[in-house]
Every structure is written in structure tokens, then in C-alpha cells.
Amino acid sequence: MILDNRGLEPPQPMMRTLTALAKLKKGETLKIINDRRPMFLFEELDDLGYTYQTQKRSDGSYEITIEKKDDDDDG
């Protein structure tokens, strides 16, 4: 799934992204495109246990590929 968040004012890109991530199953990926590097989103992804890769695009926007890892129920 690709989610184009360009042109949206904060916090809309983050809210749209978190809503889409809630629908992912483990092992699935979400690709988002943002006007800016989403620093606050990265903190949230770390807390929620997602992995992600960031790439700056030639137009100055950022493409972030986010993967839902396996659920851990260790405790």
C-alpha cells in the first residue's frame, strides 16, 4: 500500500499513517510519501515496534517504507 501525504499539514500525515498501520498484518509493508522527514513519526514507530527505511526523493520529499514485524508476546 502507498500513502501519499504530500500537501497535508501536520498532524494529518502522521494520523493518516498511524491509521493505515493499524490495518497492517505482520510482515506487510506500508510506503508513505511525505513533504518532510517525519521525525515524530519515527519515535512513534520505534515505540510500536515497526521497522522502517527512509529515502530522500529527487523532488525533496521523503519516501518511508514501514514494515510490521512479528508480534512478540514475551510478557
Fold of the 2-68 domain: Translation Initiation Factor IF3 (3.30.110)
Q: Are 50 and 29 in contact (CB under 8 A)?
A: no
How many helices (H) and strands (E) would you count in the chain?
2, 4
pLDDT at residue number 36? 95
Residue 64 has pLDDT above 80, yes or no: yes
pLDDT at residue number 69? 82
Domain ranges of the chain: 2-68
pLDDT at residue number 74? 46
Give residue-wise pLDDT tens across range 11-24: 999 999 999 999 99
Check: pTM over 0.85? Answer yes or no.
Answer: yes
